[in-house]
Structure 1
Amino acid sequence: MNTHILPLSQDLFDLDLTLSCGQIFGWKKTGDMWSGVHKGSIVSLIQNDEGIVYSGISESALFRFLGLHDDMKKIHSSIEEHISAYRNGPDNFFSTQYELSKRLRILRQDPWECLVSFICSANSNVRTIGKRINLILDRHGTSCGKGKCKFPDPCVLASCSEQELRDCLAGYRAPYLIKTAKYISTHPDFLPSIAEMSYLDAKRALMVLSGVGPKVADCVLLFAFERLEAVPIDIRIRSIIEHQYAPIIKFQKTGRYSYDDLSLFCQEYFGPYAGYAQQFLFATRDF
């Protein structure tokens, strides 16, 4: 195994937090080692006092996958500046949550794998999603050795029966997965085209797919397409915003805020790195 020595500008990094905070599924930790499949290869990662010990991946690919190229000082400063401008002062609640989770990074995932994972995530907790994804990998993925399988291609999932995916705990999501897999397998340029679109156009395009609503679309844009302004709004984030920020939301309304209302507030309040701010808040939850 090789070791990547984290430079001083990147020394605030937590591999455990980054891989366990609900961004990615299918990775397992045994002892000190995380293992998963990235771009068809088995990858093993250990964080120690020297840095990241790794195998199955190049240093440049590791750096990108773990988001280690992100300028965290710039990101944090931008978030704090937008908070201060919006509310004319500091946000002590956010500062507290940030201190607990500031060592995480937003991963850069394969778009197809990320799309399937978050279709599978609907109305589930992290542990259940992980079981679901691992069953899909084990039963429909392609073996790459050592008991690991790479993610099934769209054409493979497209050929599955609903019962086969229900046997992987997909439940009502099974037909969504099959329909989306059929679309992607017959439109191979669809996901690459998303990278060329504006945030809103990309979100609208993704939501045409079966099983993809605004939250799944935002997750895919944030975790696979590096759209750091995307803010997935789940129950946890909705609760935080409604309890901590409702009095300062500038577009006050009677009744419940919509998903788009809360997403827009976060983008205005936290700025262009609102997706990172969301992760700092989300990662402090107990799973």
Structure 2
Amino acid sequence: MKIYEEKNRVIVSGLEDFEPKHVFECGQCFRWDKEEDGSYTGIAHSRVLNVKKEGDIVIFDNTSRADFEGIWMDYFDIGRDYSAIKDRLRKLDEHLERSVEFGYGIRLLKQDVWETTVSFIISANNAIPKIKKTIETLSYLANEEAVEYKGRKFYAFPSPLTIQRFHETCVDNCKAGYRAQYIKDSCNMIIRKDVDLERLDELDSHECRKELMRLPGVGPKVADCIMLFALQKFDAFPVDVWVKRVISSLYSQEDMSLNKMREFALDRFGELAGFAQQYLFYYARENGVGRK
């Protein structure tokens, strides 16, 4: 992999296993939008970035090499050998082999824990366009920090203190519905350190899941999403409607409960369960697996 900087952008050649569409449309994030030229623009860590792939190079626009190496390499999990992970998954069964080939460019993002928590509380029983709109509206109304890029303003996600001290009404007005109270209550618990987000990565997956589920609006699926998409606990296996369909359709005739599906996945995929979940989820959703 070669990295060089040119006019406020970083160009990377030889970056294997990275396809922007797969990364940003596999269900793990909500603040990246596709542009007319096929690139994706989003905001994370109070910075706006545009990502575009042209042939065998990936262009990261609106960043310096220092920020790319200090922030974005970690965010995009660039240091991890996904080819080795995919090789291991392919050998497990034909369904994973097919899913890995389909979503070959997926990488698991390392997102902010608080933003991920609120985002997946909002995601419960909700459609992706509405989830994205609610998150954008919450960020806009809180107005914690605005960043301009190509004539557009992007708003950083509000911290718990911002919401509690100054802009609690922004939660009521962001069209989160019944989830608004969950967000405010979770915010207060986190500020009081009833749940300490900063020490979650020190806990094993079982204890981390239990701790997260103390937050209002965080059930097993949302907890697993937070663990997988923010804390890099790769044995987490979020089960939603698409994962339920793919497990039921491809792996078992039994209509298993969500807990049994999770146990099945952990037993079958082990420490790679989270990676398997993303490949299976993306394959199932894009191909309508199990849809009647």
Tell me if both proteins adopt one fold, taking TM over 0.5 as the criterion.
yes
Instruction: For residue 132 of structure 1, give the secondary structure of its aligned residue in structure 2.
Output: helix
C-alpha separation in 2, matches of 1:201 and 1:267 = 16
Task: Specify the SS of the correspondent of 1:262.
Answer: helix
1:38-49 equivalent positions in 2, closer than 5 A: 38-49=44-55
Amino acid in the other structure paired with 1:72? Y
How is 1:43-58 mapped onto 2 (pairs within 5 angstroms)? 43-49=49-55, 50-56=57-63, 58=67
Mapped contact 2:144–2:162 kept (Cα < 8 A): no
| Change in 2 beyond 3 A, CA 1:277/1:11 | same
Aligned to 1:208: 214
Q: Aligned to 2:248, which of 242, 262, 286?
A: 242
Q: In the alignment, is the contact (CA less than 8 A) between 2:146 and 2:155 conserved in 1?
A: yes
**Is 1:120–1:129's contact at 8 Å kept on the other side of the alignment?**
yes
Hey, what's the Cα distance between the residues in 2 that align with 1:191 and 1:76? 30
Aligned alpha-carbon RMSD (Å): 2.2
CA distance in 2, matches of 1:22, 1:235: 12
Once the two structures are TM-superposed, the CA of residue 22 in structure 1 deviates from its matched residue by 1.5
**What is residue 18 of structure 1 aligned with on the other side?**
23
* Structure-2 change in CA distance of 1:190 and 1:268 (3 Å): same
Which amino acid is the alignment partner of residue 11 of structure 2?
A: H
Hey, what does 2:5 align to over in structure 1? none
Cα separation, partners in 2 of 1:188 and 1:68, compared to 1, 3 Å: farther
| Structure 2 match to 1:2 | 9
Q: 1:189 to 1:243 in 2, by over 3 A?
A: closer
8 A contact 2:195–2:211 mirrored in 1 = no
Partner of 2:88: 78
| Identity in percent | 28
Q: Which amino acid aligns with 1:13?
A: F
Which of 30, 37, 43 in structure 1 is aligned with 2:35?
30
Contact 1:28 1:35 in 2 (8 A): yes
2-structure distance, mates of 1:196, 1:149: 30
1:280 maps to which residue? Answer: 279
Which residue of 57, 64, 68 maps to 1:59? 68
Q: Distance in 2 between matches of 1:40 and 1:152?
A: 10
125 and 6 in structure 1: CA distance in 2 versus 1, 3 angstrom threshold: farther
Q: How many Å apart are 1:26 and its aligned residue? A: 2.0
Paired with 1:77 and 1:95, the residues of 2 have a C-alpha distance of: 9
Worse-matched range after superposition: 210-219 or 262-271: 262-271
CA–CA separation in structure 2 for the residues paired with 1:55 and 1:161:
29
2:201 alignment counterpart: 195
- Between 69-78 and 105-114, report the one with greater CA deviation: 69-78
Aligned pair in 2 of structure 1 residues 189, 245: CA closer, same or farther (>3 Å)?
Answer: closer
- Aligned residue runs from structure 1 range 242-281, under 5 A: 242-247=248-253, 256-281=255-280
Cα deviation for residue 2 of structure 1 reads: 2.1
Is the partner of 1:47 in helix, strand or coil? strand
For residues 1-53 of structure 1, the C-alpha deviation after alignment (integer angstroms, 9 at most, x for no partner) is 3233243xx42310122112211112223223422222122223222232233
* Contact 2:47–2:147 under 8 Å retained in 1: no
Q: 1:131-177 CA distances to partner (integer Å, 9 max, x unpaired)?
A: 11111111113232321111111022235788643431200101000
* Secondary structure at 1:283 match in 2: helix
Name the counterpart of 1:88: none
> Is 1:69 equivalent to 2:74 in the alignment?
no
Task: Name the CA distance, whole Å, in 1 between partners of 2:246 and 2:105.
Answer: 21
One-letter amino acid of the structure 2 residue matched with residue 16 of structure 1:
K
Question: Does the 8 A contact of 2:195 with 2:212 survive in 1?
Answer: no
Residues 103-140 of structure 1 show CA distances to partners (whole Å, capped at 9, x for unaligned) of: 11110101111111101100112222111111111111
Specify whether residues 222 and 204 from structure 1 end up closer, same or farther in structure 2 by C-alpha distance, changes over 3 A only: same
Q: Which has the higher contact order (CA 8 A, sep 6+)?
A: 1
Give the equivalent residue in structure 1 for 2:3.
none
Answer yes or no: is the 8 Å Cα contact 1:162–1:175 preserved in 2: no
Aligned to 2:4: none
Q: Give per-residue Cα distances to partners, 1:208-263, cap 9 Å, x unaligned.
A: 0111000010000000001111110001101111121115xxxx8xxx52322111
Aligned residues: 270
| Aligned equivalent of 2:238 | 232
| Structure-2 residue corresponding to 1:87 | none
TM-score normalised by length of structure 1: 0.86
Task: Tell me the SS of whatever aligns to 2:109.
Answer: coil
**1:41–1:144 CA contact under 8 A, matched in 2:** no
